[in-house]
Amino acid sequence: MKNIFFTLFIFCLISFLFSGCVSFTSYDSLERLGFADLEGYQYQNKEYQPQNDTTRFMYFTKKTDFEKSFGSIKHDIDFSKQLVVAVVKYEKKASQIVTQHITYEQNEIIWLYEDDYSQTNAKYPFVGMVLIDKKSFDQVVFVENGKTVYIITTPEAQERQKKKLAETFDRKETEK
């Protein structure tokens, strides 16, 4: 049993350390994805009661999930061909998310954006949202002001990682 926890700990540690390497990557050589900024949406999840200076990171591949968080769709979004990536900030000072570019490599969607605090007429909470063409992806990486701030791994990718870890553990137990 100790071996399972040790293996999980090492796996998580390596994943955490590797995820920090994203901010040192040259994004110029990666495939750039076309995107459209979506504006006019307010976060409407009444069940979520945030503390100040909290940030939520999300992606949506289904219309129903999107509408639970942001209400009815105001733009032409075809969830069979597109997905939405969003940042919602509950900060004390006004903020505006400005997309620099979105890249794609090895099943990772990487959203590079700046958090511009010069915007004073933004609505609270502050929402940054982009629409991109759907790609096969395992993770969405959020890079704010040049630094990786959050990574979302899809449930399918998490299951594959768990299965691979279990297979590795089973193989090592059999080798003993």
Number of folded domains in the chain? 1
Decide if 17 is inside a domain. Answer: no
* pLDDT the model gives residue 70: 92
* pLDDT the model gives residue 26: 57
Are 95 and 122 spatial neighbours (Cβ–Cβ below 8 Å)?
yes
Question: In the predicted model, is pLDDT for residue 67 greater than 60?
Answer: yes
CA distance 133 to 16: 28
Write the CA distances from 98 to 1, 5, 163, integer angstroms.
Answer: 47, 41, 38
Decide if 168 is inside a domain. Answer: no
Average pLDDT over the chain, rounded to an integer? 81
User: Band of the pLDDT at 7, cuts 50, 70, 90?
Assistant: low
* pLDDT the model gives residue 66: 94
CA distance 96 to 107: 27
The boundaries of the domain holding residue 68 are 28-155
Decide if 73 is inside a domain. Answer: yes
Decide if 46 is inside a domain. Answer: yes
pLDDT per position as a tens digit, 16-65? 544 444 444 455 667 899 999 998 888 887 777 676 678 899 999 999 99
Decide if 86 is inside a domain. Answer: yes
CA distance 154 to 92: 30
Higher pLDDT, residue 63 or 2 = 63
* pLDDT the model gives residue 30: 79
Decide if 106 is inside a domain. Answer: yes
Query: CB neighbours (10 Å) of residue 136?
Result: 8
Which residues, including other chains, have CB under 8 Å from residue 91's CB and lie 6 or more apart?
A: 52, 53, 55, 126
Decide if 174 is inside a domain. Answer: no
Mean pLDDT of 130-155: 94
Decide if 23 is inside a domain. Answer: no
* pLDDT the model gives residue 14: 54
